[in-house]
Structure 1
């Protein structure tokens, strides 16, 4: 897909979103648009798969006569194969195109659409994919009065949206099978930027995601596993996969139910098999769902300075016990760090976005920082990012990088706070900025006013405070003033002025004039 084709596709998708824009808030119409895109994807994937396996019999899936003994026999065979290969099943009459065309012709489709979405989930019951499809469409509420005051009004609006979507060719048969997934991710980004903090909580800007992904994949072409304990819509996990030839398995946890549903959809839309992702919905700190598992790559953008219980009982939890301290209840930043480190494999890398305060706050956080650096030597790099690059907050942030088996004892500090271009509402990192940051991390070379390798002794001398200006000078230092030279210059000027004054007086005397005072 060319950039021009992608731009046109994105415009069409946003036009469809605008059909619902006046009816409800951004986070609400997001659920409808993305839910219908997902239904279309499942339908087209089902249709293409069924046509391929029926090809030897010279049949097309939509030609199967439903309701007849022979037709149902074919459908039973297709169903078994589809559940094994795709993890779900749709009958020919349940395909997106069939229902969209009926709606375009004026038929009442709301009841059938509700049944079809329920049937997708029901088709997985008792199978390996059941948990990945469980309640996946629960946020697509077709009975909501926000779609219209009457059933006919709701039906008309939904039929219009489905008709527009049906006209879009997502080119699922092309080699670039990520087209629909990219379109989905585009809409997620648009909703996040348009809806501020509420929608931005589950989405990390692509430029930041790219930096995190390139950091944890440095030196690797394949990953056994990647994990995000606050996975949001799953886009950060998928970004990591773009930096290597293969990721075997994806793991994640998300507290918000709606966002968790988006993440599962996002995985499937990007062609990740239900067998290769394990996403769970729960509070990561309070109820971790992947206990005892270690991951080769870990990335996260946790909610900044979130509250958590910090119960004393956690001091016996394997994730926190060795530190002897818990992150304060008012700021869970280091609780997430401790949780992630507990899941990091010895040959792995971990990159997490945190607010700048995590670098220098004292108390328990200071003690945890000291333990990580002095006792374990796990901190690999600190990268300062520009302010105002996240949706819904303008605070400056940083990336902290950790590795358990490091070949050096220094810590790389990178000040990228000036690496941005200002846009209308927020700043953003340019491709050149991303490249400079990643290159600095990979080469670990000194760069005046940008990158510095600090020894543990230097960090200890700063009281384990990691505030970046302590290690990287951001501006040219003022030249040192030579006071003796300044005094000598003043004396020379004074002497010269005395000579000039004498000549003026002599000249005035010759002319018989009174010399000026």
Structure 2
């Protein structure tokens, strides 16, 4: 099978969704397409690996399938083959249930959904690591068709569509992983407000990751934590900026089970070793996690749901995450997420969190938490992002950077609200925009109408209000008015009006009324323009 270019692969993956688009919205059909692509990847790489281990290296899936089938059915080779494959991947698929075998059944009209369902179950039951991975792919949903035959046909059509894709012949996991990431991004664009549950735009992810990892690109065993990880895209960006990428350990928690499964698939498709994945399906604010070593991380990155409601349980005020700063109000969990992430940050670490601007100036419990953080020097930088940059909201947001063990309590303010490129449906940060923000963060110096390094005393004078316009003045001075010119222009205009009125009045002399009423109106008009 010929290797595809990245763009060709991206487009082919996206086109595969055409069969499902008319049947359900993107938030639903993404589960089918992403699940089936992931299953093909697991199947193809296992079959190709098996043929390679049998010393018959080939990337031809039909040939590899035959080699695997023959060895599987050979009593002398069967046990060693299964042991080898299972040790390598943590699962194995029966020869008659591989993706290639099922495509052959489709071609011969013998395919049944139960074959695919059985293969899913076999993978999920191979180990705890794969447990529940395909539970969101409902092969028997009536949205696929009103009858089992129609459901069978739709899934067959989607499988045929993706059967031509080369998912194991790519040079690196990055090509396929980035293609999968592209697909998730396209689903996010189509999903509208639902997209915020699983995806952070790549430009924002790159900005946050570079800030969090600055100066630590060579750290071996780097740990990064996202307590609201969505599809895992924010976590996986660490691979782009680390020189020790294979040693990165990823820690993530996600409440939504479907999104959690998507993150697991995303990690595997990016080639992240099983031992480097530490993912958890639970409510971040309900019970603390992780609670076993390691519990503090080199970087914490977050894009939590904005101003979500939460319900602190009895005794939460004594929770180590919140006890030093207090509880966020029930109507707005923004600071609860922030304090959770900050609690899990190493003393030498950097945390970046995306939040609505309200956290910068709201009073009450939030004002008290903000004051305490500022007094402890926890807030390092506040960056105002452009409006309409996220899929789930058009409001402008802020990236707040936090650190521990700082020797100063100043805060750098950056107004990057105008740093964007307008796209079809939303704005996005360009590479130049990201670089400008990053360099300003590093230099920590005033930039006219863009950035200001505020002292603690200055912040205290503002009653600990961090609203960016208080510190960065982006207004442009009005141009001075030339009064003499304005008066001259008015006089010139008056003279022109008088001239035109006089000419118009003369023209009225040529008009003749054809009745008494018209004569009255004509006389009135002549008098009016004589006065003018």
Q: Aligning the two structures, in what range does the TM-score lie when normalised by the shorter sequence?
A: 0.7 to 0.9
2:66 counterpart residue number: 62
Whole-angstrom distance in 1 between the partners of 2:447 and 2:421: 21
TM-superposition CA deviations, 1:369-398 (whole Å, max 9, x none): 111111x21111000000111112111100
TM-superposition CA deviations, 1:438-469 (whole Å, max 9, x none): 11112222211111111111111111111001
Deviates more, 1:357-366 or 1:401-410: 401-410
- Aligned partners of 1:377 and 1:406 also within 8 Å: yes
Whole-angstrom distance in 2 between the partners of 1:347 and 1:45: 40
2:473 counterpart residue number: 473
* TM alignment of 1:374-453, pairs within 5 A: 374=375, 376-453=376-453
1:342 counterpart residue number: 343
- Say which SS state the counterpart of residue 242 (structure 1) adopts: helix
Whole-angstrom distance in 1 between the partners of 2:211 and 2:323: 28
* TM alignment of 1:160-179, pairs within 5 A: 160-170=157-167, 172-179=168-175
1:499 counterpart residue number: none
Question: Where does the alignment leave 5 or more consecutive residues of structure 1 unmatched?
Answer: 125-129, 494-517
Whole-angstrom distance in 2 between the partners of 1:64 and 1:239: 36
Deviates more, 1:132-141 or 1:219-228: 219-228
Instruction: Say whether residues 1:236 and 2:234 are aligned partners.
Output: yes
1:36 counterpart residue number: 36
Q: 1:479 Cα shift?
A: 7.6
1:329 counterpart residue number: 330
- Say which SS state the counterpart of residue 158 (structure 2) adopts: helix
Whole-angstrom distance in 2 between the partners of 1:63 and 1:424: 49
Q: TM-score, normalised by structure 2?
A: 0.84
TM-superposition CA deviations, 1:225-265 (whole Å, max 9, x none): 11100000111100122111224211111001111110111
Instruction: Say whether residues 1:95 and 2:98 are aligned partners.
Output: yes
2:156 counterpart residue number: 159
Question: Where does the alignment leave 5 or more consecutive residues of structure 2 unmatched?
Answer: 489-532
Residues 53/108 of structure 1: CA separation in 2 closer, same or farther (3 Å cut): closer
- Aligned partners of 2:389 and 2:426 also within 8 Å: yes
- Aligned partners of 2:65 and 2:100 also within 8 Å: no
Whole-angstrom distance in 2 between the partners of 1:115 and 1:66: 21
Whole-angstrom distance in 1 between the partners of 2:374 and 2:70: 66
TM-superposition CA deviations, 1:410-443 (whole Å, max 9, x none): 2111100001122232211122111111111122
* TM alignment of 1:302-321, pairs within 5 A: 302-311=304-313, 313-321=315-323
Deviates more, 1:403-412 or 1:224-233: 403-412
Deviates more, 1:98-107 or 1:353-362: 98-107
Structure 1 runs, 4 residues or longer, greater than 3 Å off: 56-62, 64-68, 477-481
Whole-angstrom distance in 2 between the partners of 1:65 and 1:336: 51
2:517 counterpart residue number: none
2:124 counterpart residue number: 121
179, 184, 189: which one pairs with 1:193? 189
- Aligned partners of 2:51 and 2:67 also within 8 Å: no
Residues 346/75 of structure 1: CA separation in 2 closer, same or farther (3 Å cut): farther
- Aligned partners of 2:347 and 2:403 also within 8 Å: yes
- Say which SS state the counterpart of residue 37 (structure 2) adopts: helix
Whole-angstrom distance in 2 between the partners of 1:66 and 1:145: 38
Q: 1:56 Cα shift?
A: 8.2
- Say which SS state the counterpart of residue 137 (structure 2) adopts: coil
Q: How many pairs are equivalent?
A: 473
Whole-angstrom distance in 1 between the partners of 2:69 and 2:164: 26
- Say which SS state the counterpart of residue 5 (structure 2) adopts: helix
69, 85, 90: which one pairs with 2:88? 85
Deviates more, 1:427-436 or 1:462-471: 427-436
Deviates more, 1:5-14 or 1:337-346: 5-14
TM-superposition CA deviations, 1:345-374 (whole Å, max 9, x none): 111111000000011111111111111111
Whole-angstrom distance in 1 between the partners of 2:66 and 2:174: 25
Residues 305/73 of structure 1: CA separation in 2 closer, same or farther (3 Å cut): farther
